[in-house]
Amino acid sequence: MVENRKNGKSISPLDGRYGKKTAHLEKYFSEFALMRRRTEVELKYLLALNETELFAQFTKTELSNIKNVLNDFKYEYFIKIKEIEKKINHDVKSVEVFLIEKLSLKNPNMIHFGLTSEDVNNLSYSLLLKEYLTNEQLPQVEKVMKNIFDKADKWKSTIFPARTHGQMASPTTAGKEMSVFLNRLFEQYKRLNKFKFCGKFNGATGNYSAMYSAFPKYNWMKFSNEFIKSLDLVPNEVTTQIDSHDVWAEYFSIIIQINSILVDLNKDVWLYLMLGNFKISSNKNEVGSSTMPHKINPINFENSEGNLELSNSLLEFFIRKLTKSRLQRDLSDSTVSRNLGVGLTHAFLGLNETIVGLKKVNVNEEKCKNEIENHTELLAEPIQTILRRAGLKDPYNEIKKLTRGKIITEKMINNFIENLQVDETVKNELKKLNVVNYIGQAEKITQNVLNKVKKYLKQ
């Protein structure tokens, strides 16, 4: 895999074009990582089984050998397991055979005692996902939030055009618009931060049958639950041969939502750049077009959008596929599960590109202010609202006649106000309205979001 990254012959862009950005994720999503976790589960089970005193206790040498392999899973062990797999054509059984040869236990029958392959597999995958969530995903989402937080804080008072249905609408601030995305992302981050993976450890059809057949008086259900909890996973006692993957589906759904929020952000930033409300910093060494030298393209946001959409398509498929299995199990989930890292890595790339892109973006403050000042008709909303309060008959349609679909000047607004049949105090109130200052509670809303995110992250 590493060589393919160097010679450009990899099939997947995750290992080729994006190889330098994704290489460290091999720790979670590679075949080596899966075999390492499978071996870990088998060995930790051995140690837990030893404590039951159902078998003769391990010698000090045996315990030392077990812990050495557990604490230092060498690449050569992985190669040996794969060589065994070539002969017997079973990946989990290959781990068992390897451990029998490697550990040379007096009682090798303790290895994989009473288990089915899926007992080892489901725990191994969940441990890998948990490790990825803790070490990579949460810190990365925090980093995205921090970048959006900084923009929202910096721009919380920066006047900004707003559009509904693509048309000019009541003004806002750039910070408020960023705080919307920050708030949405924050809610999903909290879900992700407290997420717990589960596991099953109950045999071929989920009834602990093999374990109880050998030792019918031992409480294997309690043992199984405690073993799963020792791995910092939540026990799932009621399963077929496989875990239902409903918890995985919940996890993927959170990621899908995070991806979707950032796709929405990417598209809005792209549009604001197109409209000139945002501007993007240039790098003198970069090229925006092979024929048009002037261009600075929003490539980070476009790249992010593509990767996030691709991630979501895979994650949505995983949810549909992995939560269904024929009867007690079929093997079609196995090859799909090996692609979990593909879906998650595309999300990882997408988030990184959004982070890079946000660092290049600033508000074109002069353009925004001028644009709002040139749309005095935006005052139609506060004018008709104040006139409602003053009791004027049908103020909405009165101001609609003046403004709908028209470019309105300040003079035209003032003439309209002068001819209103209302008190002078109301007229004066209306004349004081300024389209640039018509931002309501945008700053306060933004600050409220900043405060709660900051408080949570500190805790």
Active centre residues (catalytic): 165, 289
Instruction: Tell me, yes or no, whether 269 and 388 share the same domain.
Output: no
Query: How many structural domains does the chain have?
Result: 3
Residue 220 falls within a domain, yes or no? Answer: no
Instruction: Tell me, yes or no, whether 355 and 393 share the same domain.
Output: no
* Amino acid at residue number 358: L
Q: Pick from 364, 389, 413: which residue ends a domain?
A: 364
Residue range of the domain that includes 424: 375-437
Question: What's the CA gap between 321 and 344, in Å, rounded?
Answer: 16
Instruction: Tell me, yes or no, whether 355 and 379 share the same domain.
Output: no
Q: Between the CA of residue 370 and those of 147, 241, 277, 365, what are the distances in Å? A: 27, 66, 11, 9
Strands 198-199 and 167-173: unpaired
Scanning 133-245, the segments in alpha helix (DSSP H) are: 138-154, 174-193, 209-214, 220-230
Report DSSP state, residue 372. H
Do the Cβ atoms of 422 and 390 come closer than 8 Å?
Answer: yes
Instruction: Tell me, yes or no, whether 333 and 185 share the same domain.
Output: yes
pLDDT digits (tens, 9 = 90+) for 132-155: 999 999 999 999 999 999 999 999
Residue 223 falls within a domain, yes or no? Answer: no
Report DSSP state, residue 106. S
What are the residues whose beta carbons fall under 8 Å from the beta carbon of 258, sequence distance 6 or more?
141, 185, 188, 189, 192, 347
Tokens of 161: 């055009």
The residue count of the chain comes to 459
Instruction: Tell me, yes or no, whether 54 and 180 share the same domain.
Output: no
Phi-psi region of 389 (alpha: psi -120 to 50; beta: other; left: phi over 0): alpha
Q: Pick from 364, 398, 419: which residue ends a domain?
A: 364
Q: Between the CA of residue 383 and those of 49, 164, 377, 439, what are the distances in Å? A: 77, 19, 10, 14
pLDDT beneath 70: ranges in the chain: 1-7, 282-296
Instruction: Tell me, yes or no, whether 168 and 284 share the same domain.
Output: yes
Question: What's the CA gap between 118 and 122, in Å, rounded?
Answer: 6
Whole-number pLDDT of residue 281: 82
Question: What's the CA gap between 389 and 425, in Å, rounded?
Answer: 13
Instruction: Tell me, yes or no, whether 48 and 189 share the same domain.
Output: no
279 sits in which H/E element: strand 278-280
pLDDT digits (tens, 9 = 90+) for 47-89: 999 999 999 999 999 999 999 999 999 999 999 999 999 999 9
Domain at 402, CATH number: 1.10.40.30
Name the β-bridge partners of 168. 163
Question: What's the CA gap between 250 and 266, in Å, rounded?
Answer: 24
What are the residues whose beta carbons fall under 8 Å from the beta carbon of 141, sequence distance 6 or more?
185, 188, 189, 192, 258, 351
Instruction: Tell me, yes or no, whether 338 and 387 share the same domain.
Output: no
Residue 262 falls within a domain, yes or no? Answer: yes
Instruction: Tell me, yes or no, whether 351 and 393 share the same domain.
Output: no
Instruction: Tell me, yes or no, whether 330 and 389 share the same domain.
Output: no
